[in-house]
């Protein structure tokens, strides 16, 4: 019989989906969630240098690598639970390494914007209840968060909104994406022109003129319409995506967008929120924030945390060859980092903790397979809006959870350091 | 050869196969480059053709696909190991490489599309 | 490690038990204070407390120490995290200036001799996050107060005047959030903010609900009293942060008339400094503290805490989202906001209190005035951490309350505006050490309804602090520097019978308990099940069955069943 589970794929963390344990069948899921809750190839057993070993031996070898390294990088964390992340932060502090997480190549520029201007936002429930204008800016939920439009944004029903017809949906993007095709208004922009377009909107909303006919491929007329639409909304939201964070301007694009939201709140209510990717990428920033004060790019080489994305983000550390070992958990930097960063990962000892073989497995010296959270293990995850949900364990497994692996690793590191 | 701007990003298929990276399904989900119809035709491309995408940061051979989503002069490669051969690794002190909006060129090629494993060896 | 302890020859102040600086011995066994006869002296560790002050561990009844607000504050303000308090060793690395990491919060309280701290605003849907952070704070006992004042269920039952359902909902909600009591923040005003408005007076109607702050507060007091929860309604008033708001505050306090409780107040009004402004604008703003003090002193069922402002850095973070937006506009500072489902909202804005800024100096004066003018049995010492400033400055506030001489010296460095707009320069009163110990221990424990905290009687928790001076020899009016120094670094802090601080240094790490209140035995949740189902179906973005926190998810919970 199907039971309610909580999906552990994307940042939408849908908790209305169902899973039939006997038939191993997922119901109500999107394509991404279904893939998560399906049978696929697993890492069969712990491995050291390609040879199958016990968990005991693999964690021992991993602890040795970490303790012998001068400055290990501990990277990943977005697809595991807070309980594991907390141990990971404490482990990094112990071995005086660098903690970085997937947001570093995803939404961390948004965090830099929060530092500059703050984050005027709302929970997804507040948005579904109130938003009569939804703007997807450089985000494409139809491909990256397929049930988001249904549950929270485009066609979600709520307190003041009875459905899609009560909402205007705008997409601002370089490509006419699947989401754009479902929008009322599509604003096609040139790559890398988010910043000036936002500046133009700020000017127009303040009632100032802009002395050009177009900005970033968008006509002044269309910008005026968009500005008017924003100003006259009762409760608007901008959901921004990697189109903004990974393009020219990066953090500054979002900083400018937050200033736009600050301005709009002088006329009406408006909020902004990032379309966070992995199911617990939010937790991988929140947990270190309360444990050591920062969300990512944290160096402990002096025995206390220091934050600097220019120095301690995974890509900077790797490109500078400033780490001599790496622990990769719940992520695949070999597939997702630029070539220049992967080069160094190939040269140093790598420990991988993951349920599934991936490109990082191909370069890892120690591979430790883990249970799949949401299916084989339980723990706390934060939805993209920071709402905490306890993901479930519905089937038994021989695989250790990340939490158990890290507990063991931490214990062995403490032993090896003679503390 | 044609001057373009290269962008990368998520797709549904890339996401659905992201935990099966060593399979053909993942390979097929990330090993292509989308071009606007106009650019596709200008390069004289047809179903199954391959293109070489070059930027100052590297080059990669991928399959060519026609897309109705792109404007002329912009090409799209799904996020993953192929796109990462050509995107700009510098982070401008933010920690974030520039995965989108990298100037480069596209040309038709007869060279092979490397497998995921072969790609790793080249790095 | 747990030892039997014999704290010998200390000079004990224990206001709850009427002990006023008397030389006596205290005995500890299994984390509790026991009779001498319970102790096997051959097994006992002896602490020589000769000529030292021995008191119960401090109880902070209102601070923002855990959850999405402080954590967003940390994210927003990495500059706050650059102050290194401790390099990782046997203990965790500890950083933070005013905002602190979770380990730093526990460590800093312990060093001051505080052993209990309550998170004063828990967003209900974020309850699990709050508990995760509470679980990451070592050393102290803790709890969290979920916020009710803008929750649509509350509006609904208040509008229907259905106190039974309101009681049922409160019991359900406190159980689900593993919360401790009924916190109310700007009732109705945060809902109005969803439309860009606010409820600044008690009779402003909440949009679409036809209820007023007056009705919400009165109904919540009634429901809380009928449930006989250990803590009363804990209220952040409407109209916070605006000149002239002291009148709203007084009007609000009077809503407690007609309610009574044998054990405690029926209404606790919090961080009153922010709600004690006279005048009509920032140009003529003045202190309304004297008027408020008069009202509080004249009532026997209302308590307050100071919300003292400390010069230096602070971060405003409250569930009062419209106020935070006002502050953002006023300061031009960074601003975070979070509208939360149908439960209310919150905001965060950095701030710095400058001695030469007339308004800041006035705020500083008003906080102290409240501490001085309100009877010591009715005002708790707080800074509304981190809104008024760091809790690590409590010793400064203690010293100021006890010494007019220190205040005179401090007044010399602040804006002269205080001379005409505040009462402080003309206040001669000095609190005694007994009174200040009461305001930081026995009173705060009583306000919260914690019977085993804040005193050293037999049966109390063995949370004890020892300070390096003799209360019978110190002249608190003149020796303010000694006071200010001594309370920063306890000679000993003992938590649950374990010595955790010695001579101001951490010596052991313990993990306190998290209290939560269970009043579900007093209601039948069946009565509201249909409403819950409907609201979750229509207005929430999570399933009802996934809402809330199970006791098993908390590291070290203590369930308090309401009698």
Euclidean distance between CA atoms A383 and A8, whole angstroms: 10
- Nearest CB partner across the interface for C337, out of A120, A294, A305: A120
- Nearest CB partner across the interface for A174, out of B11, B74, B84: B74
pLDDT at C326: 96
Q: Hey, which chains touch A, using 3+ CB pairs under 8 Å?
A: B, C
- Nearest CB partner across the interface for B12, out of A31, A316, A334: A31
> Do C325 and A269 meet the contact criterion of CB atoms below 8 Å apart?
no
- Asked if B97's CB is within 8 angstroms of A335's CB, the reply is no
- Nearest CB partner across the interface for A343, out of B15, B87, B123: B123
pLDDT at B122: 86
Nearest CA in chain B to A298: B95
> Do A89 and A287 meet the contact criterion of CB atoms below 8 Å apart?
yes
**pLDDT (average), residues C54-73:** 98
Tell me the β-bridge partners of B100: B7
Euclidean distance between CA atoms A178 and A109, whole angstroms: 25
> Do C323 and C311 meet the contact criterion of CB atoms below 8 Å apart?
no
Whether the per-residue pLDDT at A268 is higher than 80: the answer is yes
**pLDDT (average), residues C288-312:** 98
Asked whether C and B share 3 or more beta-carbon pairs under 8 angstroms, the answer is no
Residue of B13, B81, B96, B99 to mutate, interface with A, max A Cβ within 10 Å: B96
Whole-number average pLDDT of chain B = 94
- Asked if A268's CB is within 8 angstroms of C132's CB, the reply is no
Whole-number average pLDDT of chain C = 97
Enumerate the residues of chain A whose CB falls inside 8 A of the CB of residue C76: 114-115, 118-119
Q: What would the pLDDT profile of A218-239 be if each residue is shown by its tens digit?
A: 999 999 999 999 999 999 999 9
> Do C368 and C423 meet the contact criterion of CB atoms below 8 Å apart?
no
- Asked if C103's CB is within 8 angstroms of A285's CB, the reply is no
Euclidean distance between CA atoms A167 and A154, whole angstroms: 7
pLDDT at A303: 97
> Taking the CA atoms of chain A, what radius of gyration do you get in angstroms?
22
pLDDT tier for residue A419 given thresholds of 50, 70 and 90: confident
Whole-number average pLDDT of chain A = 97
Whether the per-residue pLDDT at C1 is higher than 60: the answer is no
- CA distance, residue A213 to nearest chain C CA (Å): 32
What does the block give as tokens for A261?
């939201």
pLDDT at A1: 84
pLDDT at C3: 76
Nearest CA in chain C to A130: C194
> Do C108 and A318 meet the contact criterion of CB atoms below 8 Å apart?
no
C4-56+454-506 folds as: Urease, subunit C; domain 1 (2.30.40)
Nearest CA in chain A to B75: A175
> Do A73 and A104 meet the contact criterion of CB atoms below 8 Å apart?
no
- CA distance, residue A329 to nearest chain C CA (Å): 21
User: How many domains are contained in chain B?
Assistant: 1
- Nearest CB partner across the interface for B95, out of A40, A108, A356: A108
Angle at A251 between CA A245 and CA A252, to 5 degrees: 120
pLDDT tier for residue C2 given thresholds of 50, 70 and 90: low
Enumerate the residues of chain C whose CB falls inside 8 A of the CB of residue A118: 76, 328, 334-337, 348-349
Whole-number Cα distances in Å, A218 to A173, A248, B3, C510? 11, 17, 22, 60
Residue of B14, B71, B83, B95 to mutate, interface with A, max A Cβ within 10 Å: B95
- Asked if A41's CB is within 8 angstroms of B120's CB, the reply is no
Enumerate the residues of chain B whose CB falls inside 8 A of the CB of residue A362: 22, 117, 120
- CA distance, residue A205 to nearest chain B CA (Å): 28
- CA distance, residue A189 to nearest chain B CA (Å): 10
Kindly report the number of other CB atoms within 10 A of residue C352's CB atom.
15
- Asked if B93's CB is within 8 angstroms of A176's CB, the reply is no
- Asked if A246's CB is within 8 angstroms of B94's CB, the reply is no
- Asked if B71's CB is within 8 angstroms of A174's CB, the reply is yes
Whether the per-residue pLDDT at C425 is higher than 60: the answer is yes
Residues 6+ apart with CB under 8 A from C362: C277, C285, C286, C287, C415, C417, C418, C421, C422
Structural domain harbouring B109: 2-122
Nearest CA in chain C to A5: C546
Main-chain dihedrals φ then ψ at residue B4, nearest 5 degrees: -145, 170
Burial of A320 (0-12, 13-18, 19+ CB in 10 A): exposed
Residues 6+ apart with CB under 8 A from A51: none
DSSP per position, C432-454: -HHHHHHHHTHHHHHHHT-TTSS
> Do A132 and A235 meet the contact criterion of CB atoms below 8 Å apart?
yes
- Cβ contacts from A onto C, under 8 A: 183
Asked whether A and C share 3 or more beta-carbon pairs under 8 angstroms, the answer is yes
B107: nearest Cα among B31, B24, B43, B28? B43
Nearest CA in chain A to C91: A94
Enumerate the residues of chain A whose CB falls inside 8 A of the CB of residue B23: 41
Task: Report the phi/psi class of residue C307: left, alpha or beta, with left for phi > 0 and alpha for psi in -120 to 50.
Answer: left
**pLDDT (average), residues A107-113:** 95
Q: What would the pLDDT profile of C177-221 be if each residue is shown by its tens digit?
A: 999 999 999 999 999 999 999 999 999 999 999 999 999 999 999
**pLDDT (average), residues A176-183:** 97
Q: What would the pLDDT profile of A326-339 be if each residue is shown by its tens digit?
A: 999 999 999 999 99
Nearest CA in chain B to A242: B9
Q: What would the pLDDT profile of C67-122 be if each residue is shown by its tens digit?
A: 999 999 999 999 999 999 999 999 999 999 999 999 999 999 999 999 999 999 99
- Asked if A307's CB is within 8 angstroms of C71's CB, the reply is no
**pLDDT (average), residues C154-160:** 98
Enumerate the residues of chain A whose CB falls inside 8 A of the CB of residue B9: 140, 242-243
- Asked if A340's CB is within 8 angstroms of B89's CB, the reply is yes
- CA distance, residue C409 to nearest chain A CA (Å): 36
- CA distance, residue B22 to nearest chain A CA (Å): 6
Nearest CA in chain C to A302: C87
Alpha helices in A293-357 (DSSP H): 309-312, 314-319, 333-336, 339-347
Euclidean distance between CA atoms A240 and A238, whole angstroms: 6
- Asked if C341's CB is within 8 angstroms of A126's CB, the reply is yes
- Nearest CB partner across the interface for A32, out of B8, B16, B120: B16
Enumerate the residues of chain A whose CB falls inside 8 A of the CB of residue C103: 291
- Asked if C72's CB is within 8 angstroms of A295's CB, the reply is no
- CA distance, residue B114 to nearest chain A CA (Å): 14
Whether the per-residue pLDDT at C238 is higher than 70: the answer is yes
- CA distance, residue A255 to nearest chain B CA (Å): 13
Residue of A26, A250, A375 to mutate, interface with B, max B Cβ within 10 Å: A250
Euclidean distance between CA atoms A296 and C9, whole angstroms: 51
> What CATH code is carried by the domain that includes residue B79?
2.40.40.20
Main-chain dihedrals φ then ψ at residue A4, nearest 5 degrees: -70, 135
Residue of A290, A299, A380, A419 to mutate, interface with C, max C Cβ within 10 Å: A290
Enumerate the residues of chain C whose CB falls inside 8 A of the CB of residue A16: 543
Domains in chain A (CATH in brackets) are 42-106+279-416 (3.40.50.740), 108-274 (3.40.228.10)
ipTM: 0.97
Nearest CA in chain A to C93: A304
Share of chain C above pLDDT 90, in %: 99
Tell me the three state secondary structure of residue B50: strand
Task: Give me the residue spans of the domains in chain C.
Answer: 4-56+454-506
- Nearest CB partner across the interface for A93, out of C88, C128, C132: C88
Tell me the β-bridge partners of B61: B52
pLDDT at B123: 83
- Nearest CB partner across the interface for C71, out of A121, A286, A390: A286
Enumerate the residues of chain A whose CB falls inside 8 A of the CB of residue C77: 115
């Amino acid at each position: 019989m199907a039971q309610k589970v909580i999906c552990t794929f994307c940042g939408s963390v849908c908790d209305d989906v169902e899973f039939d344990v006997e038939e191993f069948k997922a119901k109500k899921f999107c394509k991404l969630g279904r893939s998560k809750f399906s049978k696929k190839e697993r890492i069969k057993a712990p491995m050291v240098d390609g040879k199958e070993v016990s968990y005991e031996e693999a964690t021992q070898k991993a602890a040795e690598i970490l303790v012998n390294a001068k400055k290990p990088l501990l990277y990943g964390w977005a697809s595991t639970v807070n309980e594991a992340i907390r141990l990971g932060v404490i482990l990094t502090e112990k071995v005086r390494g660098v903690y970085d997480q997937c947001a570093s190549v995803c939404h961390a520029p948004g965090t830099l914007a929060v530092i500059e201007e703050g984050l005027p936002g709302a929970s997804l429930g507040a948005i579904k209840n109130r938003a009569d204008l939804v703007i997807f800016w450089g985000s494409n939920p139809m491909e990256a968060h397929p049930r988001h439009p249904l549950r929270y944004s485009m066609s979600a029903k709520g307190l003041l909104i009875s459905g899609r017809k009560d909402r205007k949906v705008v997409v601002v993007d370089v490509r006419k994406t699947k989401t754009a095709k479902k929008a009322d208004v599509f604003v096609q922009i040139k790559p890398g022109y988010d910043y000036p377009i936002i500046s133009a909107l700020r000017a127009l909303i303040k009632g100032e003129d802009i002395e050009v006919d177009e900005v970033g491929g968008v006509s002044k007329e269309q910008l005026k319409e968009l500005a008017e639409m924003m100003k006259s909304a009762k409760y608007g939201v901008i959901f921004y995506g990697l189109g903004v964070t990974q393009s020219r301007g990066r953090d500054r694009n979002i900083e400018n967008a937050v200033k736009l939201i600050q301005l709009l709140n002088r006329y009406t209510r408006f909020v902004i929120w990032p379309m966070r990717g992995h199911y617990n990428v939010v937790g991988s920033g929140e947990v270190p924030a309360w444990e050591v004060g920062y969300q990512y790019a944290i160096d402990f080489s002096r025995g206390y945390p220091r934050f600097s994305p220019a120095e301690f983000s995974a890509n900077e550390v790797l490109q500078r060859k400033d780490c001599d070992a790496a622990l990769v958990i719940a992520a695949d930097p070999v597939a997702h980092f630029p070539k220049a960063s992967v080069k160094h990962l190939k040269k140093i000892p790598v420990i991988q903790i993951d349920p599934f073989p991936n490109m990082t497995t191909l370069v890892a010296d120690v591979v430790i397979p883990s249970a799949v959270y949401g299916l084989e293990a339980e723990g706390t995850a934060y939805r993209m809006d920071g709402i905490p949900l306890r993901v479930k364990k519905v089937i038994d497994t021989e695989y250790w959870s990340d939490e158990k692996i890290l507990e063991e690793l931490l214990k062995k590191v403490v032993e090896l350091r003679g503390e | 050869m044609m001057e373009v701007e290269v962008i990368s990003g998520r797709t549904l298929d890339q996401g659905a196969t992201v935990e099966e990276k060593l399979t053909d399904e993942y390979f097929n989900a990330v090993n292509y480059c989308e071009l606007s119809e106009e650019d596709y035709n200008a390069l004289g491309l047809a179903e199954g053709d391959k293109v070489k995408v070059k930027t100052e940061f590297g080059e990669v051979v991928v399959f060519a696909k026609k897309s109705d989503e792109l404007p002329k002069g912009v090409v799209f490669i799904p996020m993953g190991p192929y796109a990462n051969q050509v995107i700009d690794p510098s982070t401008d002190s933010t920690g974030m490489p520039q995965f989108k909006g990298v100037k480069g060129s596209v040309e038709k090629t007869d060279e092979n599309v490397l497998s995921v494993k072969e790609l790793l060896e080249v790095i | 490690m747990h030892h039997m302890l014999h704290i010998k020859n200390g000079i004990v102040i224990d206001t709850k038990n009427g002990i006023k600086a008397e030389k006596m011995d205290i005995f500890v066994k299994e984390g509790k204070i026991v009779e001498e006869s319970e102790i096997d002296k051959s097994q006992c560790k002896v602490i020589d407390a000769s000529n030292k002050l021995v008191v119960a561990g401090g109880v902070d009844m209102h601070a923002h120490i855990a959850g999405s607000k402080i954590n967003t504050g940390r994210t927003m303000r990495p500059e706050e995290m650059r102050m290194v308090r401790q390099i990782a060793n046997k203990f965790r690395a500890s950083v933070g200036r005013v905002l602190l990491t979770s380990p730093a919060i526990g460590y800093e309280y312990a060093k001051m001799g505080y052993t209990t701290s309550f998170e004063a605003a828990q967003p209900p849907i974020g309850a699990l996050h709050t508990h995760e952070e509470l679980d990451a704070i070592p050393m102290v006992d803790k709890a969290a107060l979920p916020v009710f004042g803008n929750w649509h269920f509350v509006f609904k039952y208040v509008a229907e005047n259905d106190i039974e359902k309101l009681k049922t909902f409160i019991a359900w909600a406190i159980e689900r959030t593993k919360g401790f009591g009924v916190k109310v923040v700007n009732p109705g005003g945060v809902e109005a903010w969803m439309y860009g408005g606010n409820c600044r007076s008690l009779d402003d109607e909440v949009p679409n609900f036809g209820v007023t702050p007056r009705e919400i507060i009165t109904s919540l007091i009634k429901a809380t009293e009928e449930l006989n929860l250990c803590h009363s309604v804990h209220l952040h008033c409407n109209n916070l942060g605006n000149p002239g708001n002291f009148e709203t505050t007084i009007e609000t306090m009077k809503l407690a008339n007609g309610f009574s409780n044998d054990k405690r107040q029926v209404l606790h009004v919090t961080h009153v400094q922010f709600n004690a402004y006279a005048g009509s604008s920032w140009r003529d703003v003045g202190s309304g503290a004297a008027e408020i003090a008069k009202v509080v002193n004249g009532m026997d069922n209302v308590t307050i805490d100071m919300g003292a402002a400390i010069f230096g850095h602070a971060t405003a973070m409250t569930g009062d989202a419209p106020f935070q937006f006002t502050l953002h506009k006023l300061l031009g500072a960074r601003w975070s906001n979070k509208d939360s489902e149908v439960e209310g909202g919150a905001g965060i804005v950095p701030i710095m209190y400058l001695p030469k800024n007339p308004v800041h100096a006035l705020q500083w004066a008003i906080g102290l005035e409240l501490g001085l003018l309100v009877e010591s049995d009715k005002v708790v010492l707080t800074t509304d951490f981190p809104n008024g400033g760091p809790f690590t400055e409590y010793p400064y506030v203690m010293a100021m309350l006890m010494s007019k001489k220190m205040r005179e010296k401090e007044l010399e460095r602040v804006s002269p505006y205080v001379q005409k707009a505040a009462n402080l320069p003309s206040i001669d009163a000095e609190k005694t050490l007994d009174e200040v110990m009461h305001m930081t221990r026995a009173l705060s424990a009583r306000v919260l309804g914690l019977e085993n905290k804040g005193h050293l009687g037999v049966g109390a928790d063995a949370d004890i602090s020892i300070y390096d001076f003799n209360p019978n020899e110190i002249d608190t009016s003149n020796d303010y520097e000694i006071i200010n120094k001594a309370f920063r670094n306890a000679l000993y802090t003992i938590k649950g019978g374990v010595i955790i601080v010695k001579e101001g240094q951490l010596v052991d790490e313990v993990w306190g308990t998290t209290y939560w209140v269970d009043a579900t035995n007093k209601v039948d949740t069946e009565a509201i099940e249909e409403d819950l189902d409907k609201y979750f179906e229509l207005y929430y973005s999570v399933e009802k069955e996934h809402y809330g926190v199970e006791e098993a998810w908390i590291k070290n919970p203590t369930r308090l069943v309401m009698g």
